[in-house]
Amino acid sequence: MRPKASSPRVGYNGPMRRIWVAFLLLAGLLFLSAHQGELKRFWQVLQQGEGRYLALAFLFEGIWYLHVALTFSLLYRALGLQERLSRLLLMALSMNFVNMVAPTGGFSGMTVFISEAREQGQSTARAMVATTLYILFEHLGFLAVLGLGLWVLIRRNRLTWVEISASAVMVAIVVGLASVVYLGSHSGRALGRFLAWAARNLNRVAHALHMDDLASEQSAQRFGHDLSRGLAFLRYNPRFLGLLALMGVLSKAWLMMVLLFVFLAFHIPLSPGTWVVTFMAAYLFLVVSPAPGGVGFAESAITLMLVSFGIPWEDATVVALTYRGITFWLPLLGGLLATRLLSMTRAHENARGQDEEA
């Protein structure tokens, strides 16, 4: 039986939660307003494509979001958490939105799942584990595409320091995440010490720049212990890790299908190698770009990569604008709506739960 919604908690359901949601919605609206030119160009370009292929591109984008919700459903069941698939889908949209307006390598979206777990009286540590594992295996799934894409670039003599540097950052992110997960699954004390050491050195850098502390060593240690409690189950479920790895690879397959149908919609010739490398560039510079959501960087990477492979500049620009419009701008709008809807429906459930208790 699904647990009843818990009573409002200070710092989450009270004024702080409303302020946080309002801040996210305002940030999203400002972000969209600042980039309305990109949205207009996307709409203009979209009207030039063949409808049936564009419809398939939108379909596979929807499949990708459903895949994300299913992945979280698997993680939640394995961790003993309960949530409806429909709500996980809303949470996935909201997570993507939060990651876009408050980019921190995918970790800002973690707050959506942690907050929802706290609201239901479930373990926030386990919700944190679910999002950490999701991010890790999403990136691991991309490493397969990254390796194949780099091989294509080497064979075509197109590999530059830009791709090498970005790939090195991506690998470092995955290694760091994997190390945290490994430490956490074996020793909460070791993970706590490691995170405290990281916080201490981060603060030293901040002090050298005449800044205040950026992290608390005590909070880092508590975070390590909380994360470790949720990760302990991994030691006894190696098959589950294999399933997560498969889900990570499939996640990239759906997005690659979106890109394929974008090419078909505008009748732009495409070889398998160009397909792989274009997706590699789009996803790589989405993750490692300093700009929110990779705006400007991902579009430029797609365009320049296609031009280097002999695709006319105009066609390359059309692909970049359409693919990013389907996978970034429209989900941003959907995520804004999902964030608001999550807040409204949870408040309604809380009020109903209080009425039932009374």
130-153: per-residue pLDDT in tens?
Answer: 888 899 999 999 999 999 999 999
Averaged pLDDT, 275-283: 95
The span from the CA of 341 to the CA of 338, in Å, is: 5
Of 282 and 184, the one with more pLDDT: 282
Judged on CB neighbours under 10 Å (0-12, 13-18, 19+), 175 is exposed
The span from the CA of 237 to the CA of 254, in Å, is: 27
What is this structure's pTM? 0.81
**Segments making up each domain of the chain, as ranges:** 7-48+82-122+328-358
Of the pLDDT bands very low, low, confident and very high (cuts 50, 70, 90), residue 4 is very low
The predicted structure's pLDDT at residue 209: 55
The predicted structure's pLDDT at residue 277: 95
Dihedral angle of Cα 229, 106, 110, 189, to the nearest 10 degrees: 20
How many other C-beta atoms lie within 10 A of the C-beta of residue 168? 11
The span from the CA of 82 to the CA of 1, in Å, is: 9
How far is CA 187 from each of CA 140, 146, 172, 225, rounded to the nearest angstrom? 23, 31, 22, 8
14-25: per-residue pLDDT in tens?
Answer: 455 555 566 566
- Contact call for residues 133 and 75 (beta carbons, < 8 A): yes
Lookup result for tokens 């701008």: 329
Average pLDDT, the chain: 80
